[in-house]
Amino acid sequence: MDTVSSSFFIPRKEQGYSDIFKRVRMMPLYSFPHYKDLKPHINHEKNRFFIHLDFDAFYAQVEQRDNPSLRGKPVSVGSTTGEKGIVMTASYEARALGIDTAMSLWQAKKICPKLISVPCYGPKYEGIMLNLIRGLRCFVPEDCIEMYSIDECFIDVTPVVRDFGQAKELAMAIKQKVSDLEDLTCSLGVSWNKTYTKMATKFEKPDGLTVITPADRHKIYELPVKKMWGIGTRISRRLGVMNIFTIGELASASELALCREFGVNGTVFRRLARGEDTSGIIHTRGREKSLNHHHTLTHNVWKYEDIESEIRRITEYICRKLRSKELVTRSLYLVIRYDNLRYAGDDTKLDTATNDDREIFKAAMNIFVKFPRPCESLRARMFGMTVFDLHEDLHRYTPSLFGNNVRLPYYELDKLKYKYGEGIIRVGLNAG
C-alpha cells in the first residue's frame, strides 16, 4: 500500500507556538490519502463503510481515570518542570477555561491558577491504544484496522455491515467496548469514506457518535475548508484567495484552477471534499512476529571487550532492522555458541518497547552475564539475537519525549549511514 506522509499536518511558523508545538508533537506522522490511493473505478458512495475513532482529551482523560482526585478538575498533561512546562493536552474542564494544547504551562497557569499539571506517561497511552486494537479484532479482522495516531484509528467495517444502520450499531458496540476495556470515552464518526469519518468524529465531541450518509453531505459542505483532513492554515489561506472558504465551495471548484494552484494535490483536495476519497485502510505495522540475526566468527573470542563488541555489533544490526520496519520490541533473546559446540541462551522482557541501541545492548549484556563466562579454553564462536513481541514505533518522529533517557535521533543516524557508509557515525553504546 502506498502511503505518503502529509506535511500539511506539521504546524506552520505563523502559528507562533510552532517551536513549542514541534517539541510536544509525538504522534506518528499521519498517512494521508494520496492521489494514487484514489481509485476512480470504486463506486465510492455505495457499500463502503468506515468508522473513525478518536479518544477524548486522551492523555488528560487517562490521568483522570487513574487518579480520581483529578476528576472534574482542570488538568493539563505535559512536561511540568521549570520554564519549559508545556500543555500537551487539557481536560475538558480546563479547555472550558481557555487552556489549549501547546500552551506554555506558565501561560496556562496565568489563565487558570487552579490548573493541575501532571506529567505524561507515553508507554501507558500507547498500551491503551494497542489494547483497543486487539479488542477491535472481535468486530473486524486486523487488516481492517488502521492505527492512525496514538489515540485515533480507522476501521473499515465494509466486510461486516450492509448499511448505515448496521454501521451505526457497530459503532455503538465499539464505543461500549472501549468503555468496557479501558473505562474511557471516545468519539466516533461513521461514513462511506475515511475523510468524512474523520470530520464526522469532531461533530459531537466528547463521547459523540456522528453518522454522515450521502444525504447528510451538506453538513460537511458547510464546514470551513480548514476543517478538512489535510488542509491547514496555509492552504486554507491560499484557497481563500481563490474565494473558496467552505468544503462545499472546494467540492464544486474548478479542478483546473485547483491544479494550477496546488498541482496534483488540487485534484486530491477536491475529491476528498466531494466525498470521493476511495482510499482504504493503510497498514504501517510490519507483519513480522520476530527478527533475528546470527553471526559466526572466523576467529573465536573470549576476552570481555571482544564479546562486548560482538554483542554490540549484532545489537546495532537488529536495532537498525527494527527501525527500517518502524518497529519496537518488548522481548529479546540472546544466544552464544561456544567452541565446545555448546549453546547458552536466554531471553528477557524489556520495561518498555524500544529500538534504541543502548537499551537493547544493556539488556543483552544483562543476559550475557548469566552465561558461562568465556575464557581462553572456552571461546565464543557464534552470537545470535532474536527480538520478538514487536509493535509499531509510535515515537519514531519525535525523539526524546518519554523516559529518562534522551532518545537519540536513530532514524536520522540510519539515514546518514545509508548515505555515507557505516563508518560515518557510531553511537557509544556504553553511554547511559
Active site residues: 152
Instruction: Write out the binding residues for ligand TTP, residues 147-166 only, by CB under 6 A.
Output: 150-151
Residues in contact with 404: Cβ distance below 8 Å, sequence separation at least 6, in sequence order? none
Cβ(23)–Cβ(147) below 8 Å: no
- Which residues 168-207 are close enough to bind ligand TTP by CB under 6 A? 205-206
Instruction: Please say whether the dihedral angle defined by the alpha carbons of residues 312, 318, 322 and 324, taken in this order, is positive or negative.
Output: positive
Query: How many DSSP H helices and E strands does the chain contain?
Result: 15, 14
Task: For residue 17, state whether it binds ligand TTP (rule: CB under 6 A).
Answer: no
Q: Residue count at the site for ligand TTP (CB under 6 A)?
A: 19
Q: Which three cell numbers stand for residue 9?
A: 499536518
CB of 208 to ligand TTP, least distance (A): 10
Tell which residue, 296, 244, 288, 253, has the closest CA to residue 271. Answer: 253
Q: Which stretch binds ligand TTP (CB under 6 A): 49-57, 222-230, 383-391, 414-422?
A: 49-57
> Do 349 and 402 contact (CB within 8 A), yes or no?
no
The three three-digit cell numbers of residue 38, written as one number: 484514489
Contact call for residues 189 and 51 (beta carbons, < 8 A): yes
Question: Residue 283 corresponds to which cell in the numbers above?
Answer: 497498514
For residue 205, the partner it binds in Ca ion, ligand TTP, none, with Cβ less than 5 to 8 A by kind, is: ligand TTP
User: At its nearest, how many Å lie between Ca ion and the CB of residue 53?
Assistant: 9
Host H or E run for residue 258: helix 255-262
Give how far the C-alpha of residue 408 lies from the chain's centroid of Cα atoms, to the nearest Å.
18
Q: What is the DSSP letter of 224?
A: B
21 binds ligand TTP (CB under 6 A): yes
Cβ at position 91, least distance to ligand TTP in Å = 9
Please, which residue, 56 or 357, has the CB nearer to ligand TTP? 56
Q: Indicate which single residue of 3, 31, 89, 195 sits in contact with ligand TTP (rule: CB under 6 A).
A: 89
Amino acid at 220: I
Footprint of Ca ion on this chain (CB under 5 A)? 54-55, 58, 151
The distance of closest approach from Cβ of residue 203 to ligand TTP in the complex, given in angstroms and rounded to an integer, is: 12
Alpha carbons 341 and 337: distance in angstroms, whole number: 6
Please choose which of Ca ion, ligand TTP, none residue 182 contacts, taking the beta carbon within 5 to 8 angstroms, the exact cut-off set by kind: none
Q: Which is nearer to Ca ion, 182 or 310 (CB)?
A: 182
Instruction: Determine if 333 is a binding residue for ligand TTP (CB under 6 A).
Output: no
Binding-site partner at residue 326 among ligand TTP, Ca ion, none, CB < 5 to 8 Å by type: none
In the complex, the smallest distance separating the C-beta of residue 232 from ligand TTP, rounded to whole angstroms, is 13
Interacting residue ranges for ligand TTP, rule: CB under 6 A: 21, 24-27, 54-59, 88-89, 101-102, 150-151, 205-206
